[in-house]
């Protein structure tokens, strides 16, 4: 079964899209990469596992934190769906780099009208 990992930034309206994506499929695990603002304000109704980063750190440090967090959470690296609808370019690049570094098979997904769409 597929694991979903998505960025959860502070952009207006993007959390709605992330929540829609989470609801549209039965995921084995859901990981949301966010900062302290997301940790304090996101209503986690899906039991997603939050991976907290300091978005003021440089990209390499964020990447290394993500690598360590994903390794300790025993992710299924063969089937990772990723979404970048929320978050910053720096967060997106750090996440993609971390997934590639752990050897994850990745595919980009987005919420559709009624089901998850692969891009």
Look up the domain containing 75 and give its range.
Answer: 3-118
Q: How many domains does the chain have?
A: 1
Over the stretch 54-74, which tens digit does the pLDDT of each residue have? 999 999 999 999 999 999 987
Who's near 45: CB < 8 A, 6+ residues apart? Answer: 19
pTM of the entire predicted model: 0.93
89 pLDDT band (50/70/90 cuts)? Answer: very high
CATH of the domain at 14: 3.40.50.10770
């Amino acid at each position: 079964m597929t694991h979903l990992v998505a960025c959860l930034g502070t952009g207006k309206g993007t959390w709605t899209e992330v929540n829609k994506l989470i609801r549209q499929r039965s995921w084995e695990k859901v990981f949301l990469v966010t900062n302290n603002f997301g940790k304090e304000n996101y209503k986690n109704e899906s039991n997603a596992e939050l991976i907290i980063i300091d978005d003021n750190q440089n990209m390499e440090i964020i990447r290394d934190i993500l690598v360590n967090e994903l390794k300790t959470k025993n992710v299924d690296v063969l089937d990772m769906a990723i979404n970048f609808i929320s978050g910053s370019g720096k967060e997106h690049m750090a996440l993609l780099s971390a997934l590639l570094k752990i050897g994850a098979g990745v595919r980009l997904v987005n919420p559709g009208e009624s089901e998850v769409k692969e891009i």
